[in-house]
Structures are given as structure tokens and as C-alpha cells.
């Protein structure tokens, strides 16, 4: 199954579901490579489309109805999202975080996409998950979050160094300036750096760093703790 099929199925009754511009005919979809009801590719992909390398059959001049509806649906590009074929859910970073950390407990296939740019079509390459899998697309990086033990351990480590005083950029780049080092302390930073140096270029590390709580969230959490 392709992510565009999940989205197309889920949005048929959504008020923002696009209308078909022409009557479908049988063809091979340039996006998915699958044969089925299609419309002319030019109805969907114009000269501004710059990610032709992601197409399954670049030579095809047709796109499937599912691909057309999915990519014309504005929230597929203009939001982070989760879709299981029944519901398309727009997500903020907190929503993505909750789903990633909860793991995949559903037996239904789903696709998930997280973006900060709101410029790309996530459904072009977002993996469709089967039972037990928890693989997300983060911008154009495929991130396997299926190993809940690894995700939990990395998440704990990243939150600990964040709480110690290192900001998201410092954690992402592993470049700690002197004034931050004084706050974190040298032993704490060196221990973290030793753990992170073999991981910080991975897609999972980058994704989890993106999902770290903001300063506003941390302040609110501290406030709630003080009220207890």
C-alpha cells in the first residue's frame, strides 16, 4: 500500500477534499507505479514540481486518482500528519512526539509525516507501517522508531542533557560553547558527548532532537510541578 492511498481513502468526506478535474481512465501512476484509475499528470504536477527523482515511473504521463486527491489536499503538504486510512490528523510537534513515543499499538496500516518547512509532499515517500512498525518521514528522512527500548533510552539521554542546560542546537551539532559548558559542567557534557558522537548524524537522533520540549513547555512543566 502507498501513503497516498491511505490519505485518499481517509479524506473522501473531508470538506477540503479536492474535486477531480477530469474523468479518470486506466493508466500507470507516475508516483506509485501502480495501475488503476488515473488522470493526466499535468493536472497535478506542474513545472514547479522539483522532486521528480521521487517518482516511481517518471516516464508516465498519468497519476492515480489516489495520488491526485492526496497531493491536492492542502494539509498533506501544509502540516505534519498521521493517517491510518480512516482519519487524516493534522499534528503539531507535541502530537508527533506523543505518537512516536507511544509506539505502534495499532494493527491498522498508517503513515506519519513530520515537517518544519511545510513545502514538501510527505505522502510521496512516507512509509506505510504494518503491525509493530513505527517508521516516520521527517522532512525527507525516513526514521525507524520501531525499537521502543532504543527510542526510550535515547529520549531519556537527550532530555537529561537538555535539562542540564544544553539547548537543542548544541545537542544537535554536538558543539558546546564555553558559556553553556559552564552551565552543563564538563563531566556531564563529556559523558553525553561520548554517548552521542556515534549517533548524532543518524535520522533517529535528529528526529528526537526536533521533538524535544521547547523552553515554554519546560517552564509550564516546572510550574505544574511547583503546584503539586
> How far is the C-alpha of 227 from the C-alpha of 180, rounded, in Å?
29
pLDDT tens-digit map of 13-40: 899 999 998 999 999 999 999 999 999 9
What are the φ and ψ backbone dihedral angles of 182, each rounded to 5 degrees?
A: -65, -35
The predicted structure's pLDDT at residue 227: 61
pLDDT tens-digit map of 117-151: 888 899 999 999 998 899 999 999 999 999 999 99
- Residue 128: all three cell numbers together: 506505510
Burial, 88: exposed, middle or buried (Cβ in 10 Å; 0-12, 13-18, 19+)?
buried
pLDDT at 106 over 80: no
Map out the domains of the chain as residue ranges.
3-72, 76-144, 148-227
pLDDT at 54 over 90: no
- Residue 4: all three cell numbers together: 497516498
Closest C-alpha to 163, from 109, 218, 206: 218
Share of the chain above pLDDT 70, in %: 96
Closest C-alpha to 68, from 94, 43, 105, 102: 43
The predicted structure's pLDDT at residue 226: 61
In the chain, what is the straight-line distance between the N-terminal and C-terminal CA atoms, in Å? 48
The angle that helices 93-102 and 148-164 make with each other, rounded to 10 degrees, is 130
> How far is the C-alpha of 125 from the C-alpha of 108, rounded, in Å?
19
Amino acid at each position: 500500500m502507498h501513503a497516498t492511498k491511505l490519505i485518499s481513502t481517509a479524506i473522501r468526506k473531508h470538506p477540503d477534499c479536492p474535486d477531480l478535474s477530469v474523468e479518470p481512465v486506466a493508466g500507470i501512476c507516475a508516483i506509485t507505479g501502480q495501475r488503476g484509475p488515473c488522470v493526466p499528470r499535468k493536472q497535478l504536477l506542474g513545472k514547479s514540481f522539483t522532486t521528480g527523482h521521487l517518482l516511481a515511473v517518471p516516464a508516465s504521463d498519468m497519476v492515480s486518482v489516489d495520488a491526485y486527491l492526496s497531493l491536492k489536499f492542502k494539509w498533506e503538504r501544509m502540516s505534519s500528519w498521521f493517517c491510518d486510512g480512516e482519519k487524516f490528523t493534522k499534528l503539531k510537534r507535541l502530537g508527533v512526539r506523543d505518537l512516536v513515543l507511544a509506539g505502534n499499538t495499532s494493527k491498522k496500516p498508517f503513515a506519519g509525516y513530520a515537517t518544519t518547512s511545510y513545502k514538501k509532499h510527505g505522502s510521496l515517500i512516507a512509509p506505510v507501517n504494518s503491525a509493530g512498525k513505527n517508521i516516520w518521514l521527517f522532512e525527507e528522512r525516513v526514521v525507524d522508531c520501531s525499537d521502543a527500548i532504543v527510542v526510550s533510552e535515547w529520549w531519556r539521554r537527550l532530555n537529561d542533557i537538555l535539562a542540564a542546560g544544553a539547548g537543542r542546537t548544541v545537542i544537535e551539532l554536538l558543539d558546546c560553547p564555553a558559556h553553556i559548558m559552564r552551565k552543563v559542567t564538563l563531566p556531564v557534557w563529556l559523558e553525553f558527548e561520548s554517548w552521542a558522537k556515534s549517533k548524532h548524524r543518524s535520522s533517529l537522533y535528529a528526529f528526537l532532537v526536533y521533538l524535544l520540549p521547547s523552553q515554554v513547555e519546560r517552564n509550564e512543566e516546572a510550574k505544574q510541578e511547583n503546584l503539586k
